[in-house]
Structure 1
């Protein structure tokens, strides 16, 4: 895929699918039409150039291809009528609180009839344009397992006749947990090297806080994303390798994003209805509070991780908490906690073990742990960081 088409794909695939689902009422047909349009763009744009409105070109082309397909397959007058309807420039207007096509599709896919992980996986596939392999890595499960979940989710939607319509106000709170999970995973995928997805997640996060201003977890998620994104420019060195948080040049942090994120954290604290995203945002706020050259308040972060573990006990949260324990109780205690976790397929688990072993003066074991982390990540920036740490140990 050429650079131009690939960039448009990452930025606009979700919008195209969302609009097409509203037109067609069928996930598979919408996906096929969007992918067909991008394939056409790949063939035409190198010769004709990228059109002034790439997203509009993709959506129009996809809709026309879907119309052509429906006509070819039509066996009854009703099918012809359906195809003719699709020639109208705009889909029928729908009443409801969610007007943004992409956000509406997220709420639609996060239907209570679907299993929670299936909701998130399906929406990431549709809105993020992520491959099944990328989604599987985000969930720390094998790719075939994730493929089955996506297929089952689509089948469930068809079998249960779940309508593609604007959710009512009363439907929104019950679907919010899945929606927030989708937006955060899109953000994380973008943070790993697709800035278009990061921008889209932030846009969706702002829309959610406008739509549901009294939901503190929506506010907490937006704060979390803003505070993490504030460090984007300092996260890699001039060679593209990751720079760990303590080594980052804080002068390169975006102070406007930090101020906005911290303001939202204070707004959450005033509500006093703590939830996982709010606590994670508070952790990031503590990190952003430490002035250049001064120590991070690890004791406060430890307290926040204890709260997070009480709310959402998971191996990944426990792993992050262990990193903080290394700062408050030492690397030996932290290594005991890490070694008790079942996260062998997660590259960060091995990277954390490697760092703890390095700090404990066990270089041979640390090198093996870095090699295990390298074998489990495809991120160029992370690999450069891990390779550098590994080489440093081999030279000692």
Structure 2
């Protein structure tokens, strides 16, 4: 079986209007040359194009998907939220929350993004593909049930997981979020449930600035099933691999999921405009390799990555290509032109040791001595 790759050009047509970085233009915020919001189809399309021109697409099973239905969406989002979103979308667009703007047709595009995640997960669960990468937008991991946030308009991964559970019955799912920003939406949706382990690796106090704390472990039935791993700015490659070794892998092995889903933001790269980490394409390659090994040992290899953030037009394509190469087992001849520079930019060993000591202290609290 091949790796599934899920994409629809219509998702790239989602627009938040004219912005400078992510700030609406106006007042003293001068329009830039292209007026493009930092979360644009332009960057994700470059990722898809590199997969194609590298020759890797020939080894993938490429699909689109129908949009999520109203019934699919209502398993996660209340009718009042969906009604308001649809009404504003039909009326020309608007804003569903904090930094959650959209243009006409935004509702339909967001439902399509959720539908792509649904099909990727369904195809892996049914054995049609061995694993999958879902390249969709708008992203979803900040979206709360009743409020958009952080460029996210629908909770793509939870919508897909609840559709999967409706089709296949109860399932234990681990969501590993390596977007550089805290996956607060996914956390909120599953905070009181024990069937979904939510793990977020993120730059500490980046976005949202008041969430993603170590002590936020879930509540009620979900106590102990939420794991936040805040990393110090500039931690780079070793910080992510240490976090995987010390916290993520032990948590996965203790939980024993039926499926692992990655919230695959690529904004931890060393040149991303919305974060201050120093990861590079080999960071994402190694994290993918680690999760593939755990999926192979724990859940029959069932692993799906669903794209979230990533705002560097040069870094995102190479980081994404590294992930898909690893998932598919096909290495292209593409060389990341940033890799040598970012390897040279890594923090000094004493900083890396300090970060690891923090992770080990957290692991003692989570797992005991």
Task: Identify whether the pair has TM-score above 0.5, normalized to the shorter chain.
Answer: no
Bigger Rg, which one:
1
State the structure with bigger RCO (CA 8 A, min sep 6), 1 or 2.
2
TM-score of the superposed pair, with normalisation by structure 2:
0.29
Tell me which protein shows more strand as a share of its residues. Answer: 2
TM-score of the superposed pair, with normalisation by structure 1:
0.28
